[in-house]
Homo-oligomer: A and B are copies of this chain.
Amino acid sequence: MYLTQALHRWASATLAGVATACGERVRTFAETRERVSRLAGGLRRIGVAHEDRVGILSLNSDRYIESLFAIPWADGVLNPVNIRWSPTEIAYSLEDSQTRVLIVDDVFAQAVPAVQAIYPGLRTVIHAGDGPTPDFAISYEELITESEPTGDACRSGDDLAGIFYTGGTTGAPKGVMLTHANLVSAALGGLASGSFFRHGVTPRSLHVAPVFHLADFAFFLMTSIGGGANIAVPMFDPENVLELIGTQSVTDTLLVPTMIQMLADHPKVSAYDMSSLRTIVYGASPISPALLGRAQNAWPTVDFVQAYGMTELAALATILPAADHSDGTRQRSAGLMAPISEVRIADGDGTNVPHGVVGEIWVRGPQVMRGYWHKPQETTEALQNGWMRTGDAGYLDEDGYLYIVDRLKDMIITGGENVYSSEVENALAQHKAVAACAVIGLPDERWGERVHAVIVRAPHSSVTAAELQVHTRNLIAGYKVPRSVSFVDALPISGAGKILKRSLRDTIENSSRS
């Protein structure tokens, strides 16, 4: 199993099949194979050798997709860098992984001097942009035109494919080592579920979420394996996305719930032709029933599919099929074990608990990471006999559906009672005036922690804290009802689309102190 197989297959198979599209540029698989083999030749010429890490710091583009094939083709290891990071964080991840070659686009070329000031080990910068190539960089397009094609190193199986730094919400970033088998088996497992893409339709996938994040990376790989076109969008802009779906005949896209909300609630949502769209895959967090309802109203023929996973699992553990989105209970679950996964729920000793009982979610399968780069202790803590301890809490129902209760570390302990934020968030989200919400624990003299809700109001709503407290009291136990509420315009989200609860907590604590 190897990342580049899909490119080999479709370039050999079809003359006309489209591999990438970005703005006006459209390239077939055969053209892409030619460019990738030359780019790989160029990487080798500038000194990329066996297992050297090559970073990519760029908005989504067709060149990003080409680089994802070219780096392993050249015998290198991918390091897709989080575009939301500061120069300090970027330099940390490059230095930690000893990445000496970095591909940047026009936007991120500007960050290079600041990064190199911190990490001088970054010796070569390749500029993959449309603007002029900066002095400190070499040109991506020239590297392609001036290099001879090279044969694919055919890195495969247990060979290291990439180091993916977790944009986790707590602690220092860790480099997740994923092999070719990890990545390809996760993509095959996703496809094997039958939940992604529609049988018989060649996918045209819109990459709106950043491809450096493993959820969208997996979506890129599934699309490629399926012989589909990867359509790259540099940044999420609701109106642009609505327009592109029609003009590019997009069949599938992967979004985080926040993006779905911004599209579904957009005033011009009904003005655009979305008839080509078959499936919206979402992840990072469950979708609230109220938002799902609005999205289904907006696009009645679109399937909604949820994937649950994490970087350490090549982004895939469970899948909630489209059909289960019409079931009020199952719609709140993370779905069934993917065709490559085993999931078990364990107590603190690692012993299985019965169906219906909450415990820590453990996952096993060919997608489980090799480990954390140069972090043997964290690796030992995370991996046990092939199982990945996710750190998430949940339970399995009797039909095998996984319900995620919360990230263990996000649990709020108030007056000695455990409160899982997601339960409170689900209750809040059922109020029609709530567009988005997050529930956190804030320090409280009386209760230790108190349940606090942060709310994004729906357009034109002026709902009050008291009204929301009355609403939730009808749905959940009194001690779970938010004792305090604040209203914001938008929630801070990570590159992975997760709500940054720590940042939310810091902001609110600071503002209440000031």
Interface residue from B14, B227, B342, B366 paired with A12 (Cβ < 8 Å):
B342
A5 within 8 A of B: yes
Chain B CB within 8 A of A192 CB: yes
A4-21 Cβ-contact flags toward B at 8 Å (1 or 0)? 010011101111110000
Given A14-B398, A400-B14, the answer on whether A337 and B191 have CB atoms closer than 8 Å is no
Within 8 Å by CB of A192, from B14, B192, B337, lies B192
Cross-chain contact B9 with A337 (CB below 8 angstroms):
yes
CB of A226 closer than 8 Å to a CB of B: yes
CB distance from A385 to the nearest CB of B (A): 9
Q: What's the minimum C-beta distance from A67 to chain B, rounded to whole angstroms?
A: 22
Q: How far is the CA of A344 from the CA of B10 in the complex (A)?
A: 11
B16 with A341: CB separation less than 8 A: no
Within 8 Å of chain B (Cβ to Cβ): is A495? no
**Inter-chain contact B323/A13, CB cutoff 8 Å:** no
CB neighbours of A226 from chain B (8 A):
339
CA distance A13 to B352 in the complex (A): 12
Query: Quick check: A199 and B189 within 8 Å, CB to CB?
Result: no
Interface size class of A (residues with CB under 8 A): 35 or more
Q: Knowing A185-B188, A188-B188, A366-B1 touch, does A343 contact B195 (C-beta < 8 A)?
A: no
- Residues in B whose Cβ lies below 8 Å from that of A154: 386
Instruction: Decide if A355 is an interface residue (CB 8 Å cutoff).
Output: yes
Which chain B positions have C-beta within 8 A of A13? 336-337, 343, 396, 399-400
CB of A365 within 8 Å of the partner chain: yes
A325-340 CB contacts (< 8 Å) to partner B: 336-337, 339-340
| B15 & A321 in contact (Cβ 8 Å cutoff) | no
Query: A12 touching B365 by the CB < 8 A rule?
Result: no
Are A15 and B398 in contact, CB atoms less than 8 angstroms apart? yes
Beta-carbon contacts under 8 Å, A352-367 to B: 352, 355, 365-366
**In the complex the two chains form, what is the Cα distance from A12 to B363 in whole Å?**
12
Q: Please, what's the 1-or-0 string for A104-120, where 1 marks a CB less than 8 Å from any CB in chain B? A: 00000000000000000
Chain B residue, CB-CB nearest to A396: B13
Residue of A15, A157, A189, A192 ringed by the most chain B CB atoms within 10 A: A192
Give the distance to chain B from A390, nearest Cβ to Cβ, in Å: 16
Q: Could you tell me the dominant secondary structure of chain A's interface residues?
A: loop
Give Cα distance in the complex from A199 to B17, angstroms.
26
Measured between C-beta atoms, what is the minimum distance from A19 to chain B in Å? 13
Determine if A212 is an interface residue (Cβ-Cβ < 8 Å): no
B340 near A188: Cβ-Cβ < 8 Å: yes
Instruction: From B188, B321, B365, B386, give the contact of A189 (CB < 8 A).
Output: B188
Please tell me if A415 contacts chain B, counting CB pairs below 8 Å. Answer: no
CB <8 Å contact, B5 and A342? yes
Instruction: Say if the beta carbon of A225 comes within 8 Å of chain B.
Output: yes
**Which of B194, B323, B365, B399 is close to A5, meaning CB atoms less than 8 Å apart?**
B365
Kindly name the residue among A16, A337, A355, A398 whose own CB sees the greatest number of chain B CB atoms within 10 A: A337
A-side interface residues toward B, CB under 8 Å?
Answer: 1, 5, 8-10, 12-17, 154, 157, 185, 188-189, 191-195, 197, 199-200, 225-227, 321-323, 336-337, 339-344, 352, 355, 365-366, 386, 396, 398-400
Seed contacts A13-B400, A157-B366, A188-B189; 10 additional CB < 8 Å A-B pairs = A9-B341, A9-B343, A12-B400, A15-B355, A185-B188, A188-B192, A188-B340, A191-B192, A191-B194, A225-B339
A sample of 16 inter-chain contacts (CB < 8 A) reads: A5-B340, A8-B342, A12-B343, A12-B396, A13-B337, A13-B343, A16-B398, A188-B188, A188-B340, A191-B191, A191-B193, A191-B339, A194-B200, A199-B199, A199-B321, A227-B400
